[in-house]
Structure 1
Amino acid sequence: MTLKQDRFLLRKDGTWVINLAVFVLSEAEKEQFLYNDAAEAVMLLDGLSGDPVIEADLPSGKSIEELTAAAQTTITGLWGRIQNAKASKVS
């Protein structure tokens, strides 16, 4: 038994997917994890029942290092977009 914790993201089909696997998906595939608003996510959560459906396997042929680098690139890009949006509102 380990105490290692992993983070999962909820795909719109109700499947919980390990977060590192999501960062290497195509932009179209990532759309399945984006919700228009909190109400959409809450509705999906309310509809879940029974045992959770989980995809915990990492993509084949990808190392933890590659997945972590993809995650960092995504996070850096998102942070940059947030900062640019803030700067646009101030100008």
Structure 2
Amino acid sequence: DSLLQTILSANVAQLDYIHTFLRLAMLQVSRQRNTFAIATCLPHEVLLLIFEHAVGVKDSTILRVLSQVCGRWRAIVLQDPLLWRK
């Protein structure tokens, strides 16, 4: 009976750990989703200014990364020739 109690206690502790881990992971995903949601509400012109600034960082992959976020961002990146000149 004591062994069974020990096993049950260990299982409960493990489930508590998993529950806490999942709750924290869900919180992180929720925060990331909220951050992204704010960016989707920005006007085209504001996004373009942000993209122009990002291109100035000298990261050769930035335009590819920006164009893969969503269809709207892809259209902005591909339609603005100034982004591709830098």
For the criterion TM > 0.5, the same-fold answer is no
Bigger helix fraction:
2
For normalisation by structure 2, the TM-score amounts to 0.33
Comparing both chains, which one has the higher relative contact order based on Cα–Cα distances under 8 Å and sequence gaps of 6 or more? Answer: 1
For normalisation by structure 1, the TM-score amounts to 0.32
